[in-house]
Amino acid sequence: MDSTFVFAGFGGQGVILAGKLLAQAGTDHGLHVTWLPSYGPEMRGGTANCTVVLSDEPIGSPVVDNPGALVAMNLPSLDRFEKAVLAEGAVVINSSLISRKVEREDIRGLAVAMNDIAVSLGSPRAANMVALGAVVKATGVVPLDAVKGAVKKMLGHKAGAKLVEINERALDEGYNAV
């Protein structure tokens, strides 16, 4: 069974990295994984997104028509992807920047004040980690510990223990916010 995710926001919000960390967590958890970025000259300042598929069987398409979970970090992302989400799917909304709720009634809208939470932790740039914690809780495909392990693996060598710790706290806050 495929679990499918779209992480979307504007360039710089860290949606590409959030998706990569989920992909790494899935890999370490023994799942089949694909991670597909939108790439191109439009990314800087424009919109960015990536698609992640986690599965217990080999994955066919990394291109997903209808994601089971959407992380929308800004309004254009919610506007663009809400209609594509699978029925019964989860939409994690960055309520720090998006004032509306989901319009559809057949999906779960989960409001998380990603930027506010990140600022309260002293690290405004960790909003993507709050988002990741929230979507991990909402879908339950991989344990939060696997995501923390992925953070250590992918970021530990670059910025050391302090950054890892801030990101872990942001993950926890996001996880507990839904």
Partner 1 sequence: MAKIDKVLMSGNEAMAEAAICAGCRSYFGYPITPQNELLEYMSAHMPNAGGVFIQAESEIAAINMCYGAAAAGMRTMTSSSSPGISLKTEGISYIAGADLPCVVVNVVRGGPGLGNIAPAQGDYFQATKGGGHGDYHMIVLAPSTIPESVELVMLAFELADRYRGPVMVLADGMLGQMMEPVVLPESIDPATLPAKQWAITGARGREANLVTSFYLDPVELNEMDVRREERYREIEKNEVRYEEYKTEDAEVVVAAFGSMARISRTAVRMARSEGIKLGLLRPISVWPFPYEPLRALSRRVGTILTVEMNAGQMVEDVRLAVAERAETPFYGQLGGLVPSPNDILREVKRYAG
Applying CB under 8 A, the residues found at the interface with partner 1 are: 20, 23-24, 27-37, 39-41, 56, 59-66
- As beta bridge partners, residue 5 has 52, 69
Closest approach, Cβ 1 to partner 1, in A, equals 11
- Could you count the other beta carbons within 10 Å of the beta carbon of residue 140? 9
Please compute, for residue 45, the number of CA atoms within 13 A of its CA located in the half-sphere on the CB side. 0
Q: Which is nearer to partner 1, 33 or 107 (CB)?
A: 33
Q: Give CA angle at 81 (80, 84), nearest 5°.
A: 125
- Closer by beta carbon to partner 1, 29 or else 125: 29
Residue placing its CB nearer to partner 1 in the complex, 109 or 149:
149
CB of 26 to partner 1, least distance (A): 8
Closest to partner 1 by CB, 33 vs 121, is 33
- Rounded to whole angstroms, the Cα distance separating 7 from 81 reads 10
Total H helices, total E strands in the chain: 5, 6
Alpha-carbon distance of 140 to 152, in angstroms, equals 20
Q: Which is nearer to partner 1, 60 or 124 (CB)?
A: 60
Query: Distance from CA of residue 110 to its chain's centroid?
Result: 13
| Closest separation in Å from C-beta 47 to partner 1 | 15
Least gap, CB of 120 to partner 1 (angstroms): 31
CB of 163 to partner 1, least distance (A): 20
